[in-house]
Amino acid sequence: MIVPPARSAITLVPGERFFLKEVTLDPAVGVAMQVELALEESSPFPLAQLYHGFVVSPDRQRALGFAAYRRRFVEEEMAEWSGAAAVLPEFLGLIGPPPDRPLIVVQVDAAGLNGVAWDGRASLPIAIMSRSLPGLAESHVVEMVAELRQRAGAGEIEVRHLDGPVGVGTDAAGGAVFRIAGEQTALFPAAALSDADVRDKSFLDEKRRDSRRRRGWAWVLTGVGVLWLVALGLELALGGLGLWNQRRQSLVTKQAAAVRRIETAQTLATRIEDLGVRQERPLEWLLLVSSMRPRSIQFTRVVSNNDRTLAIDAQTAEAAAVGAYELALRHRDEIAQVEMRDIRSREGLTSFVLFLKFKPGSPPVGEGRL
């Protein structure tokens, strides 16, 4: 008999770390593609540097995307993510069935506030707010209600208060059930839960492949078990119990070796991918060289390639600052190569291209200005 593993818990993260983007959907294009494009256009960072997800309205006319810069989460906070059934923003606990009237819902607990505003017509909230306030006071609740009312563009509107933390569990089908103070406030089926999960999408794809592989192995083992019973009956009937036992042990040994090879290959592939992703740190490199530049030098364009290089177009009204800046950069241990290219002077301005190549395995440290 195959016993399925216990279902993992869902992890909630503070909603204030996310920015939101509402998207009107084109039915001819995939929802995920439309939401990801809208989020990337609204963010100063590329999509690869964001944790993001989305929910779709019941009529599938609109979607609500949400994203957060990855560096807003620390390693200790993400330690339990890999084993979680899903990682979701807390404010999803307030996005339940749309009400049939204008309504503001505010959830209050010791850690902070979450609030949504409905206009009674749209299938998604018209405003969502989240704030972490360790020193929560009644004035904070009043302020959030006033701001939600302003965003909703309504004067008098019903306000509903929910006291207590947002709780979440899973139902028998794998969906997420949100509760506040024992009351169910939102329900997301398993398919919607996958879209709303904010973890790295390549990680989620690999997790789904692992799940399919585990189900495949379960079917294989179930089939083997059935054959096992048939073989046992035949061997007992023929008096060949010893021969049957030999075959069973050989089968188990072969399967164990195959499983070990698969696990080794998977671990190696994951490690190689992780090393490849962590090698490039263009934002930290830019922060380093920007912190060292004289104030007279202005960056006008920055290009980063996948070869640990930066090419920066810059200009200055003080020509002497170019040489001083180059000399300062050459003394940095993290930088393998410094070149000043295409230096030109015109109408009191000196323009140039700063080419930098950084050493592998030596990410820059410190803070600066962009």
User: Do 127 and 153 form a contact (C-beta atoms < 8 A)?
Assistant: no
The residue behind tokens 């009937």 is: 237
Q: Rounded to an integer, what distance in angstroms lies between the CA atom of residue 198 and that of residue 209? A: 18
pLDDT at residue 7, rounded to an integer: 47
Q: Distances in Å between the alpha carbon of 172 and those of 104, 189, 223, 268?
A: 31, 10, 25, 34
| CATH H-level superfamily of 282-358 | General secretion pathway protein M, EpsM (3.30.1360.100)
pLDDT at residue 36, rounded to an integer: 94
Q: Which residues contact 217 (CB under 8 A, 6 or more apart)?
A: none
pLDDT at residue 241, rounded to an integer: 66
From the first residue on, what is the mean pLDDT of each consecutive set of 10 residues in the chain (370 residues)? 52 92 92 93 91 92 94 89 91 91 90 89 90 81 89 81 91 90 90 91 80 70 79 75 75 76 76 57 85 90 84 91 90 89 90 90 53
pLDDT at residue 34, rounded to an integer: 94
Burial of 87 (0-12, 13-18, 19+ CB in 10 A): buried
C-alpha count within 13 angstroms, C-beta hemisphere, residue 54: 23
pLDDT at residue 284, rounded to an integer: 85
Q: Which residues contact 307 (CB under 8 A, 6 or more apart)?
A: 357
- Type and span of the H or E element at 349: strand 349-358
